Structure 1
């Protein structure tokens, strides 16, 4: 049987890797269903015309306000995947995300996981959990997104052993590349259109990897929302794909 995230966190208390809220270990929490475990999830297990909007946060906050404002205006859900380092450096941004949306885990320092040991992977994930929890003041989701989408069978197993589902994406908009590397708002939207399918997971970013403050994903979000809706798709919340605490395994 896989060791749960809660059990591992309790066992690692002696080395100061547990979250700040001691009561968490005793709290019943939703968990990923069996359909989200044991593999890298690049599309949600559904035949419905739904898509999930997700945003990584590892750099600056250039697009945070614009993204949150547009999501709020349209009443759309999203899931944000901050790194622990981002959460520690920019807690106000993470709190703003958590006010209306779910927070996943994108590691602490954004390393390639294929080159890490099991213990190093655990430390990255649990340090991030601690930082995200402290910044947001709320319970992070049991969803992990690999830095660079660099996954292996062993690393996915390590993530699952901590109680997380490995949530990747159907397409990355590549908006993070910026105009300097050939991306435009039009091309961002085109990549979303090309990936539309039941259960598609769209990956975007809230920061500027180029450092110039240009966040094409934030600029493209209104058009993405319009395009998804015009194609008959509904934007769904990844929290809807969790199993309530106390449910029988596999449900």
Structure 2
């Protein structure tokens, strides 16, 4: 659903209503093992979740938030999920401006463990796609389709794929390249623990580094996220709402 303009920070009520109607239509066709969550990208908030969310996760749709969905990821899986999500966002930026059809066709999938309200974990397959974008093809509303694959997944590895004809070539060209505002592997590990609510002391103990090293990494992460490229890449992760200055 292309939306005119390139500076829209939130959807006009009529357009948001159209998006929600589309989400409800999608949700009505889901299996019992699936639920749908819809996010406004710029506001970094959940604007819809299907009724099956409560049956599968134990959370009522009104309780669901971006922060909750990331806090519920298994700690061992969280770094890989963040890395995959960042990679997918970076590729979406790579798509030619105005190529709205290309961006809509790019759907990324990742499977990992997600904690239910009762405390146990489900193996879920999450498929992300765009529901609304501006005239330049920038995503404004994204959807995540979650499928419970616990009955079919016997390992704890995290698997990621992105369905787009140009992705393999782009990934090959990207290898070996790193920009100054790209998070290092260690910074991604620390960001994952910050998102999980860990304190500096707990992070230092888990990673076998000093408390002051953690603080230095957090300052660097904050600086990189404030840069234009990284901020846009990570906007859908809810990083903007996390205090990295601690």
Q: TM-score range by the shorter chain?
A: under 0.3
Does 1 or 2 have the higher relative contact order (CA < 8 Å, sep 6+)? 1
Question: TM-score w.r.t. structure 2 length?
Answer: 0.25
Question: TM-score w.r.t. structure 1 length?
Answer: 0.25
